[in-house]
Amino acid sequence: MDSIIEKERRKAHAMLLSWLLTILPSLIGLALWLSLRTLVAQLLIISGISTWSWDAIQTFAFLSFGLLWLTSVFFIQFKLYNSGIQGQIWNKFMLINAVLIFLLLFSQVALFPIGGLQFSTSEALTILGEVVIAAMLLFFYRKTRSRRI
């Protein structure tokens, strides 16, 4: 009887914690969404596509990235819940955030060659900060990968 209660308690704890921990990846996903939207706008500027088509392309990209973001939020919550039941929620949380920060980093770095961002000290510090944070998350993920928390 106690094992059933403990199992249900673990599920409830995993559900609550997974919803709370989904907030940070969803915010990183929003930043990625806006960065990709800027990337699409810059690609439209340099591609030579008719300016009459820009609005439709940007709207389609905005909606597509929005649906992708919403799908990823629910998928991240699902993965965190399943790993929470197994006692590995913090490892999965670190891995997901590291991957999202690397995606954000690559989308911002891709803006430099096409003229979307001007190289400045603040941009360099932002990119350096993203690299350091993602590297630390991957380091802690690898360090605690086999432990159950």
**27-51: per-residue pLDDT in tens?**
999 999 998 988 888 888 888 888 7
Greatest pairwise CA separation for the chain in angstroms? 69
What is the per-residue pLDDT across 55-111, written as a single tens digit (0 to 9) for each?
Answer: 888 889 999 999 999 999 999 999 999 999 988 889 999 999 999 999 999 988 888
- The closest of 83, 80, 91, 85 to 146, measured between CA atoms, is 91
Say how far apart CA 120 and CA 41 lie, in whole Å.
21
- The closest of 93, 88, 121, 85 to 25, measured between CA atoms, is 93
Note the pTM of the prediction, 2 decimals. 0.84
